[in-house]
Amino acid sequence: EAQVTQNPRYLITVTGKKLTVTCSQNMNHEYMSWYRQDPGLGLRQIYYSMNVEVTDKGDVPEGYKVSRKEKRNFPLILESPSPNQTSLYFCASSLSVWTTEKLFFGSGTQLSVL
Amino acid sequence: SQKIEQNSEALNIQEGKTATLTCNYTNYSPAYLQWYRQDPGRGPVFLLLIRENEKEKRKERLKVTFDTTLKQSLFHITASQPADSATYLCALDITGGSYIPTFGRGTSLIVHP
């Protein structure tokens, strides 16, 4: 089954404790991206990747890191989480390299930073 | 600045009626517009894409129109069912591609039996 898998589904942590949210897709997609969704603000893109070792900032990259060492994986790293990073996070992928058409989203990771 | 607006108020309709959702945008030259469905606590699911040179797209009970003069897209669900209750998001990406699509905040649709 074609899917984007995120882990964990729920995560509670404390300020400053480094964490990683994993994302993996099994569709051989070139384009992958991370979003956060906050009430009243909609989905905002954090980072995206066009291919292995190619990443770039989205609209809200501050406080986040990503890496793309393999085509299928695109982890999101919070080096020193803060309470304002409490949010619902989604990973997404797309077959198309040059556009953001027809995004496949993961099920989401609800992060709470205390 | 670029802006996308979707009706923030929930749309309540009776089963069997046609639901119409609106997406308006300003300061954009979109290459295409997409509609996604999102259920509570779940990731958005792609429904339809319409390009700037297309007026209308259909898929089963779904229909999308795109008016680049009015800067508006309408999303219709005919013969609506309670299972259609969800939040519907529109998303734009600009001509030439920015690789950073902009999403609207979504409109909640509630279909009453």
Give me the residue from B31, B32, B44 closest to A105, CB to CB: B44
Q: Which helix (H) or strand (E) holds A35?
A: strand A31-38
Q: Please tell me the least confidently modeled range out of A47-56, A78-87, A93-102.
A: A93-102
Evaluate whether A75 touches A67 at the Cβ level (below 8 Å): yes
Give the distance from residue B13's alpha carbon to the nearest chain A alpha carbon, in angstroms. Answer: 23
Whether A103 has a pLDDT exceeding 90, the answer reads: yes
- Model pLDDT for residues A65-91, shown as the tens digit of each residue: 999 999 999 999 999 999 999 999 999
Which position has the higher pLDDT, A25 or B3? A25
Please indicate whether, in this complex, the C-beta atoms of B106 and A108 are within 8 angstroms of each other: no
For residue B96, the model assigns a pLDDT of: 60
Q: What is the dihedral of CA B81, B82, B84, B88, to 10 degrees?
A: 130
Tell me if A91 sits within 8 A of A76, measured CB to CB: yes
**Mean local confidence (pLDDT), A44-69:** 94
Condensed to tens digits (0 to 9), the pLDDT of residues B55-74 reads: 999 999 999 999 989 999 99
- Whether residues A40 and B103 touch (CB distance < 8 A) is answered with no
Average pLDDT value for residue range A84-104: 89
CA distance A19 to B93: 31
